[in-house]
Structure 1
Amino acid sequence: MKIANHTVVEINYTLKDADGTVIDSSANGEPLKYLQGVGNIIPGLEREMLEKAPGDKFTAVISPEEGYGVQNPELIQTMPRSAFSGVEELEVGMAFHAQSTDGHPIEVEIIDIDGDEVTINGNHPLAGVELHFEIEVISVRDATAEEIDHGHVH
C-alpha cells in the first residue's frame, strides 16, 4: 500500500539542519505515526511522503517556506522586565506561553536581556531553517473513519 491522503503512516526519521547537525530523530524512541493529508506534519514533508511505500528509504530537503516558515521580524519584540512579573530570575533561553496579536497561543523565548529590557522571539525555533530529513517508511494503512473525523491517529 502506498501513502495517500487519509492513510496512517509510521516512519523512522532523522532531521538535520543544512550543516548536518541532528535536530531530532526517532532513533532512540518510537517511530512517528501520523495521519497523511490533514496537516499533522509540515507541508513540504507531507508532500514528499505521497506515493511512498513500506520499506522505502529516502531523503528530503524542505525549504523554510514549506517547513516552519521564515523568520517574522514582527514576532521579535523588546519589552520591559516588569512584563515578567512573578518570575524572579530571567535568563536567555527561557520560554513562556503567550498570545499572538490574533489571539492564538504561541511560545516565546527570551533571546536577549539588556538591563531592564528583555527581547523575546515568538517565531518557531525552526523558522528560517532548511530541514534535511532521512526517512524510512515502516508501515502504511487506511485510516479509520474515527481517525479521519478527529484528524489524528488513534
Structure 2
Amino acid sequence: MPRPEAMPGSTITLDFRLSLTDGTEAFDTGDEPLTCTLGDGTLLPGLELALYGLRPGEEQTLTLTPEQAWGERRQELIKEMPRSNFPADSELEAGQILAFRLPDGEETMGTVLAVEDDRVLVDFNHPLSGQEVVFQAKMLEVDNSALPDDD
C-alpha cells in the first residue's frame, strides 16, 4: 500500500525549522513535532504549499519570499504610544516583545523600538515580515482518513 501524501485536509505531523537566509534560526519544533490539519490556518499558506505531496519520511527545504511568508514590513504598523499607556514601574527597553490587548479583546505582540520620557515606539509587524525565510520540513506522518474517498 503506498504511503499517503499530504494534501488539503490531511492531518500531518512534521518537524520543521524556520531560519533567515543568513542561517539565523527563527523557530524549530525541536523535540515536539507539530500536528495540524492542512488548511486549518495553523500554518501560513506559503508553508502549506511546500508540504503538499510530501509523504512520511520525505523532507523539503525551500526559501520563501516575504510575500509567501509574513509579508512586507508595513510602516503603518509602527505606532508611537504615550509612555503613560504602560505601567509606571515597567522597565521598557528596545528589543522587548510585549503582548498588547486589542479593542476587540484579541491579543497581539509588538516589539519596542525606542523608549523616551513621554513616548514609546512599538512595531506591530511580525518579526519575520520583510524577510526571506528558509523553511526546512520533515514529514513524519500523514493521515488522510478524514478525507472523502475519491470513488
TM-score by length of 2: 0.83
AA matched with 2:46: G
Change (3 A) 1:94 1:24: closer
SS in 2 for 1:16: strand
AA matched with 2:60: F
User: Which ranges of structure 1 fall in alignment gaps of 5 or more residues?
Assistant: 146-154
2:42 aligned to 28, 40, 43, which one? 40
How far 1:135 sits from its partner (Å)? 1.2
Report the Cα distance in structure 2 between the residues aligned to 1:104 and 1:48, rounded to whole angstroms.
Answer: 29
Given that 2:51 and 2:60 are in contact with CA atoms closer than 8 Å, whether structure 1 keeps it comes out as: no
What is the aligned partner in structure 1 of residue 21 from structure 2?
18
Given that 1:5 and 1:37 are in contact with CA atoms closer than 8 Å, whether structure 2 keeps it comes out as: yes
Report the Cα distance in structure 1 between the residues aligned to 2:99 and 2:92, rounded to whole angstroms.
Answer: 11
Given that 2:6 and 2:52 are in contact with CA atoms closer than 8 Å, whether structure 1 keeps it comes out as: yes
Structure 2 residue 93 is matched with structure 1 residue 64: no
Given that 1:45 and 1:60 are in contact with CA atoms closer than 8 Å, whether structure 2 keeps it comes out as: no
For 1:1-12, what aligned pairs fall within 5 Å after superposition? 1-12=4-15
How far 1:114 sits from its partner (Å)? 2.4
TM-score by length of 1: 0.82
Given that 2:97 and 2:109 are in contact with CA atoms closer than 8 Å, whether structure 1 keeps it comes out as: no
Q: What is the root-mean-square deviation in Å for CA atoms of aligned residues?
A: 2.1
Given that 1:109 and 1:122 are in contact with CA atoms closer than 8 Å, whether structure 2 keeps it comes out as: yes
AA matched with 2:125: N
AA matched with 2:16: Y
For 1:3-152, what aligned pairs fall within 5 Å after superposition? 3-27=6-30, 29-92=31-94, 93-99=96-102, 105-142=107-144, 144=146
Deviation >6 Å, runs of 4+: none
How far 1:106 sits from its partner (Å)? 2.0
Report the Cα distance in structure 2 between the residues aligned to 1:103 and 1:122, rounded to whole angstroms.
Answer: 16
User: How many residues in Structure 1 have an aligned counterpart in Structure 2?
Assistant: 143
Report the Cα distance in structure 1 between the residues aligned to 2:101 and 2:89, rounded to whole angstroms.
Answer: 14
Identity of aligned residues (%): 29
